[in-house]
Amino acid sequence: MEGARWREALLKARDGKARLQVLERLLRRRLRSAGASGGNPSRVNAAIRRLERSAAPIAIGALADELGVSHKHLIDEFRSRVGLTPKMFSRVCRFQGVLGRIQSRSGVEWADVACACGYYDQSHFVHDFKEFAGLNPTKFLTHTLDDPRFIPLDDAG
């Protein structure tokens, strides 16, 4: 599985700078292989920009309509070029927004963070947080990390 190989390569890196170099190398390799698979890179790039800039979740069907393709075609093309579905990519972007907002790790108001990042209820927020971080939000704050956007996985991960 490609994800497991990426994980191992990132875990072997000695520090944050080395992890970024490894990740850049892996992403460049992925981009080259995706470029060979055809599709419309400008449409996928437009979808990426739209998903990254959105403060709230975007319905993928509506995004497909905006881009002039079917829902299924957008998902297939996006997955082929990015490695994730548009919905999962959107969830990752929202979670990155959460991590960016809690970087200081002092006086975090979770309800405000969740609302600012487009979560409509606490259970949805906590579910995503646990899925991506492996911990609930409060427990996450007790862990010391070099970079709060890098979340180490345990061996079962």
Residues 19-31: what's their mean pLDDT? 80
SS3 percent helix, strand, coil of the chain, rounded to 5, is 65, 0, 35
pLDDT, tens only, 88-141: 999 989 988 898 888 766 778 899 999 999 898 899 999 999 998 888 888 888
Residue 70 phi/psi, 5° resolution?
Answer: -75, 160
| CATH class of the structural domain 89-142 | mainly alpha
Q: Which two tokens stand for residue 112?
A: 């405000």
Residues 34-38: what's their mean pLDDT? 54
pLDDT of 46 over the 80 cut: yes
The answer to whether the predicted template modeling score (pTM) of the entire model surpasses 0.75 is no
**Integer Cα distance of 156 and 71 in angstroms:** 34
pLDDT of 39 over the 90 cut: no
* Burial of 153 (C-beta count, 10 Å sphere; 0-12/13-18/19+): exposed
